[in-house]
Amino acid sequence: MKELLEKLIKKSLDDLYQNDQDLLKRKVAERDLTGLFAHYFRNNMKDTAIAEYNVDCEYNRDGYGMKNIDGTLVYPDFILHKRGTNDSNLLIIEFKTWWNSDNREDIEKLKAMVSDWYRYQYQYGYSIILNQERDSVTVTCVEH
């Protein structure tokens, strides 16, 4: 599964940099770039073993409640899951851009979201720092 997810992440980043380089150069909001990445990821996951999963950005729901870690509300940049349950939380990604690249809080959030200590228990977490060029993008994996 990890190999498939990393292949989809790589392809979706390739698509983002190929099709939307001008937005990166203009330093648009991280949410815009995350939304475009999610669009490419959703298209790339068709006809794969995870095609039935949902892709969501800034998804803050835990059933009908709010996602939180120790009382702090959580808004993951990107998740791959099945809505309405925590039994199928597959992937969570936090993004940063090179002009705001301090991802220490994101790494801590990812560690909590993949841990056994919280009910979310995503199988895989990634921190991605979008740089000016595709070949300098930093991808860090945090596993369950």
Neighbours of 106 (CB within 10 A): 22
Res 50: pLDDT = 97
> For residue 93, how many C-alpha atoms fall within 13 Å in the half-sphere facing its CB?
29
**Domains defined for the chain, CATH in brackets:** 2-143 (3.90.1570)
- Which residues have CB under 8 Å from 81's CB, separation 6+? 53, 54, 56, 59, 88, 89, 90, 91, 122
Collapsing DSSP to helix, strand or coil, 107 comes out as: helix
Residue-wise pLDDT for 73-91, tens only, equals: 999 999 999 998 899 999 9
- Which residues have CB under 8 Å from 141's CB, separation 6+? 2, 6, 124, 125, 126
Res 68: pLDDT = 86
Neighbours of 94 (CB within 10 A): 24
Burial of 135 (0-12, 13-18, 19+ CB in 10 A): exposed
Compare 69 and 33 and report the one with higher pLDDT. Answer: 33
User: Is the pLDDT score of 27 beyond 90?
Assistant: yes
